[in-house]
Structure 1
Amino acid sequence: MQTLRNTELDALQTAWPQHMQRAIQLAASVFSAAPNPRVGCVIVGGNAEAGDSVLGEGWHQGAGLPHAEPVAIANAIRLAAGSTAFVTLEPCCHTGRTGPCSSALIEAGVSRVVIASKDPNPKVSGGGIAALEAAGVEVFFLQDFEDGARRLNRGFFSRLERRRPFVRCKLAMSLDGRTALANGESKWITGAEARSDVQRLRAECDAIVTGIETVLADDPAMTLRQAELGLNAQQLVWNELRLSNPPLRVVLDSRGRLSETAKIVTEPGRCIAYRLDGANSSVEASSPIAVRLAPNSGESVSRVSLLSVLESLAELDECNEVLVEAGATLSGSFIEAGLVDELIVYIAPKLLGSDGRPLLGMSGLNELSDAIEFKVESVEQVGADIKVTLRPR
């Protein structure tokens, strides 16, 4: 395999970045393909030097459905012999619910394959590249697209490399940093556009995590509201698998207080409650609540270990991405534990006053140097509100 930077491309390769960018765009056509990665493929005729020589395109829509490469081959306007395939992830080389993509490319007569990232799955992990090269197919790695390809599948990479999902924490507050009035009223701090944007965050995740205190106080449904996603008819078809299999709803319920009548339990889909070892874990066999036991976090207050919960969701449910939608205490605990990979804060242009409820419940600091720091990734206006996306430094 030859590794190339954009500055190293020759005259016949100048269109390669354009084709790879298109493959990444195709992969992003679906909110999630979990537990699989999102993958896009563009097949180009000849030496791929002409922008109008695209033969076929495809992307993966979810587990059990055809992968991006066979879809692109099937969509090709003519035989792909002698062509170049641009794929966002190393083609697989094993048989699961579908056949190996490396074999499909070889059988189609593709002459070269250009990838943007290597597959961390131990079932692949270079095996796809080796299979292609053994069949005489040239393989190139476009290194400048690796960050974009990994970002596209950051949850998939996190689950396989760190053994836990990528964790995104969502918060909403007023200009003065309040999440609710003193009496708990919080509907709605942000506008309809921001709430619709949150639905897209839910659509991208595999599990929504909240705490029992939030459930007892607000009785949230934590569902995926399709009408608020703003999808057209074609996008609804592309995301049919995700919409018919909504994210898991996970409640951290150390002492076993979750009621079977709570909305988070009764809404369609799966609800999992994590309780402490030794807590009230007896449930009827017919209960809609799936109870799992987790070890104590080791803090002075008895709480389930957040890392253990994440590792469990990765191992047992193959969750790539998790969205934390919780109150001040649990959100603060995730942040203090260093388990938040991305923090999204919606800021409403409102003032709620000094007696309103704070954004986070975290330990006090004696030194400013001990502050938990974030890097601002983006700031955008969503309706009347501001959306700030941050990453830990």
Structure 2
Amino acid sequence: MRRAVALAARGLGHTSPNPVVGCVILDAGGQPVGEGWHQRAGGPHAEVHALRAAGERARGGTALVTLEPCNHTGRTGPCAQALIDAGVARVRYAVADPTAQARGGAATLAAARVDVAAGPVADESEAVNEAWLTAMRRGRPFVLWKYAATLDGRSAAADGTSRWITSSAARADVHRLRAEADAVAVGSGTLRADDPHLAVRDREGATQPLRVAVDTNATALKPGARILDDAAPTLVAVAEDADTGQLPPGTETVRLPRSTTGPGLDVAALLAALHGRGVRSVLLEGGPTLAGAFLAAGVVDKVVGYLAPVLLGAGPAVLADAGITTIAQALRLDTADVTRLGPDLCITAVPVAPTTTLAEEN
């Protein structure tokens, strides 16, 4: 099953709005005879690739799949039926399919007298597919907030300069995150200060994410902005009442309600609009105001911070107002990983649900 998880990871950034899935087929003697992964939306699923590789050797064998085999016909046929037709005797899947459309594969397999059960390595299978699973369970895209900062928490110097706080190794890793995301979002402050490009570079075969410019009043994006080139698609999110006359002709926009709790757009409405476009994961790249709004809305699922051994002493902080006014409201995180990238540290953390003590309840 761990091999199936590794195979599933090869599809990251290429399968949306579908999940990443890996499959390994063992013959009747327990030897691996076929493997595959879901390579692109609309293409064969992992089970089909693995069954094709296994051929007749799949008969009487076992299929190990990271996600419950699908039970519906879309652009491809149901994988549960493909496994039945191949004569597979046993199926072990790591994670149940949460979608009403596709779930039920296990029941179909059981009805055909296939020995089917939830299998091992569930946590690792959940992790590799966390973006899609989050989107399906919560009805909104998975949100990863990425930032780069000095050790004293500055995202730029006092004069606004920020290139480069982190090393080339850290910046290269950001392109990995972009390549795995369906959309990359920045706010108007970053648009004005950095004129970001946001496309993936130096990763062969990468699918370019949708570049999302959150420009509430339609005043930050100017003609010639790098985000408007043809390297990747771009969507500009503006307020319902914004005058878009200053935007370059042909710019694709989406109009959204303003936030009722602060400046900017309604974050839930923005995520709903992206979800409706098939976006299952969003990489939130900047800046501090946009990050604060997402954190205040409670929709940040993971944080990746690149910390450089640099001190500035002044300059903008990486995070603006997130609706936290006292230490008791602090958003606590669990550290999932710490990796050294050149001179920098990359810290990955996930928010933890707040706990209520007995004293607080009383």
Q: How far apart are 1:334 and its partner, in Å? A: 1.3
* Structure 1 residue corresponding to 2:85, chosen from 107, 125, 143: 107
SS at structure 2 position matched to 1:129: helix
SS at structure 1 position matched to 2:47: helix
Which residue of structure 2 aligns with residue 309 of structure 1? 270
1:227-246 deviations in Å (ceiling 9; x for gaps): 2x4xxxxxx5xxx4xx2x41
Count of matched residue pairs: 350
Q: Are the aligned partners of 2:48 and 2:79 in contact in 1 as well (CA < 8 Å)?
A: yes
Q: How far apart, in 1, do the equivalents of 2:259 and 2:275 lie?
A: 18
SS at structure 2 position matched to 1:62: coil
Matched, 1:292 2:254: yes
Q: How far apart, in 2, do the equivalents of 1:306 and 1:366 lie?
A: 20
Q: Are the aligned partners of 1:260 and 1:288 in contact in 2 as well (CA < 8 Å)?
A: no
* Structure 2 residue corresponding to 1:92, chosen from 49, 70, 77: 70
So what's the TM-score if we normalise by structure 2?
0.92
Q: How far apart are 1:269 and its partner, in Å? A: 2.1
Amino acid at match of 1:138: D
Matched, 1:259 2:222: yes
Q: How far apart, in 2, do the equivalents of 1:260 and 1:118 lie?
A: 47
Amino acid at match of 1:148: E
Which segments of 5 or more consecutive residues in structure 1 lack a partner in the other structure? Answer: 1-19, 230-235
Q: How far apart, in 2, do the equivalents of 1:140 and 1:113 lie?
A: 7
SS at structure 2 position matched to 1:357: coil
Q: How far apart, in 2, do the equivalents of 1:186 and 1:283 lie?
A: 27
Q: How far apart, in 2, do the equivalents of 1:140 and 1:366 lie?
A: 48
Q: Are the aligned partners of 1:47 and 1:84 in contact in 2 as well (CA < 8 Å)?
A: no
Amino acid at match of 2:317: P
Give me the CA root mean square deviation: 1.8
Amino acid at match of 1:108: A
Which segments of 5 or more consecutive residues in structure 2 lack a partner in the other structure? Answer: 353-362
1:97-148 deviations in Å (ceiling 9; x for gaps): 111111211111111111001111211222x112212222111112x42222
* Structure 1 residue corresponding to 2:108, chosen from 131, 156, 159: 131
Q: How far apart are 1:356 and its partner, in Å? A: 2.2
* Structure 2 residue corresponding to 1:224, chosen from 196, 200, 203: 200
Q: How far apart, in 2, do the equivalents of 1:91 and 1:265 lie?
A: 40
Amino acid at match of 2:75: R
Q: Which one is further off, 152-161 or 108-117?
A: 152-161
State how 1:35-54 maps to structure 2 within 5 Å: 35-46=17-28, 48=30, 53-54=31-32
Query: Could you say if the C-alpha distance between residues 133 and 183 of structure 1 is closer, same or farther in structure 2, counting changes exceeding 3 Å?
Result: same
State how 1:55-74 maps to structure 2 within 5 Å: 55-74=33-52
Give percent identity, aligned residues only.
Answer: 41
Q: How far apart, in 1, do the equivalents of 2:192 and 2:285 lie?
A: 14
* Structure 1 residue corresponding to 2:243, chosen from 270, 276, 280: 280
Which residue of structure 1 aligns with residue 208 of structure 2? 246
Q: How far apart, in 1, do the equivalents of 2:316 and 2:136 lie?
A: 38
Q: Are the aligned partners of 2:56 and 2:86 in contact in 1 as well (CA < 8 Å)?
A: no
Q: How far apart are 1:383 and its partner, in Å? A: 1.1
SS at structure 2 position matched to 1:391: strand
Q: How far apart, in 2, do the equivalents of 1:24 and 1:188 lie?
A: 35
Amino acid at match of 1:391: V
So what's the TM-score if we normalise by structure 1?
0.85
Amino acid at match of 1:352: L
Q: Which runs of 4+ in 1 moved over 6 A?
A: none
Q: Are the aligned partners of 1:86 and 1:114 in contact in 2 as well (CA < 8 Å)?
A: yes
Q: Are the aligned partners of 2:293 and 2:322 in contact in 1 as well (CA < 8 Å)?
A: no
Query: Could you say if the C-alpha distance between residues 261 and 384 of structure 1 is closer, same or farther in structure 2, counting changes exceeding 3 Å?
Result: same
* Structure 1 residue corresponding to 2:2, chosen from 8, 11, 21: 21
Q: How far apart, in 1, do the equivalents of 2:273 and 2:227 lie?
A: 20
Which residue of structure 1 aligns with residue 282 of structure 2? 322
SS at structure 1 position matched to 2:348: strand
Query: Could you say if the C-alpha distance between residues 365 and 118 of structure 1 is closer, same or farther in structure 2, counting changes exceeding 3 Å?
Result: closer
Q: Which one is further off, 184-193 or 72-81?
A: 72-81
Q: How far apart, in 1, do the equivalents of 2:322 and 2:66 lie?
A: 42
* Structure 2 residue corresponding to 1:202, chosen from 178, 181, 186: 178
Q: How far apart are 1:299 and its partner, in Å? A: 2.5
